Amino acid sequence: MKIDGIHYRSLWLNEDGVSISIFDQTKLPFLVEIITLSNVSEVEYAIRHMQVRGAPLIGAVAAYGLAIAMNEDPGDDNLYLAYKTLVSTRPTAINLKWALDRLRTELTSLPPERRKDIAYQTAGIIADEDVTFCKEIGRHGKAIIQSLYEKKGIGDTVNILTHCNAGWLATVDWGTALAPIYMAHDEGIKVHVWVDETRPRNQGSLTAFELGAHGIEHTLIADNAGGHLMQHGLVDMCIVGSDRTTARGDVCNKVGTYLKALAAKTHHIPFYVALPSSTIDFEIWDGLHDIPIEKRSPDEVSRVFGIGPQGKPGWVDILPEGTPCENYAFDVTPAEFVTGLITERGTCRPLAKDLKALFSDLVP
């Protein structure tokens, strides 16, 4: 997608054929800063500290991280070490493990001298596949927005609520939850997006940044405002992303998603989850029980990052020192609260049999 009219992906391989570049998402939307990752420690740091974030993007970046490791030393020990280092960076999003497992399986069957080239090739395929999947999600999701648009009466705006950032910055391009919105807008459907702020890391600011750059009408709201908007008929549908989807269709996404799904169900508002197959974990069934929920530093709750009065970016304490805080990064929305799963192969009900029918080749 575009920044200042120039098309970017959220990561790319540099001309040296070894290092990758990313946008430092800890600085966005205040500063657009591109950084280069040239070794495994830099990749590990970038994922752990959320310079890159969003389930599909961390999967693709981790895949390149393993390729970078193979450039440094393609031996078995280094392959094992780099895999272990990268897979532990963020526990909830399954794409990370999915991408690393895919690469490791391929690499272990090869002699070390062939590993570097194949690793870069496969990382490139994973990144390209993500773009294709997100475009397809966009196409299928756009059809849903279009039918709402036609139902409301052509010319009337469709109001969509989203949580966190599931746009192009969270994937390699297009996004998951935002791809249908981009496509609807590009085809002349009038959309307006309610963007949840998404405390504590304020990923809503990234969503607002993306939508603004694309010329899409949007309004950032405090996290707790969604229920009020739904009560007053100001939300026509919700679309969010997923970091892990279970075999029966439970979804795990940024903390706060569940509360929006509860409110949507009460108000009979369709609640869609957009996801590429790389977020489906067919090995688990019960999301509440089986998905590890990442707990991050309490400092993310007790401080906010922003621009100070002198125009300088920085952190501000919002609580007295020593206030006890907890920082649960994700929550699980059980399948019963989800209207439909928008995938690259079409939209299905959040039911094991529907997911299995759509992805029979991926079920272990």
Q: Which residues are catalytic?
A: 243
d(CA 82, CA 62): 10
How is residue 305 written in tokens?
């990052």
Task: Measure the CA angle with vertex 49, ends 240 and 222; round to 5°.
Answer: 40
Binding site for ligand MRU (CB under 6 A): 53-56, 93, 164, 166, 170-171, 175-176, 203, 241-243, 253-254, 329
Nearer to ligand MRU, 103 or 172 (CB): 172
Nearer to ligand MRU, 74 or 226 (CB): 226
In whole angstroms, how close is the CB of 199 to ligand MRU at the nearest point?
A: 12
Nearer to ligand MRU, 203 or 343 (CB): 203
Nearer to ligand MRU, 170 or 216 (CB): 170
Closest CA to 252 of 212, 221, 279: 279
In whole angstroms, how close is the CB of 93 to ligand MRU at the nearest point?
A: 6
In whole angstroms, how close is the CB of 132 to ligand MRU at the nearest point?
A: 15
In whole angstroms, how close is the CB of 15 to ligand MRU at the nearest point?
A: 28
Nearer to ligand MRU, 80 or 328 (CB): 328
Which residues have a Cβ under 8 Å from the Cβ of 250 and sit 6 or more positions away? 286, 287, 288, 291, 332, 333, 334, 335, 350
Q: What is the dihedral of CA 8, 13, 43, 287, to 10 degrees?
A: 60
CB burial class (10 A; 0-12, 13-18, 19+) of residue 84?
exposed
d(CA 157, CA 261): 22
In whole angstroms, how close is the CB of 318 to ligand MRU at the nearest point?
A: 20
Residue nearest to ligand MRU (CB): 241
Beta-carbon neighbour count of residue 237 at 10 Å? 20
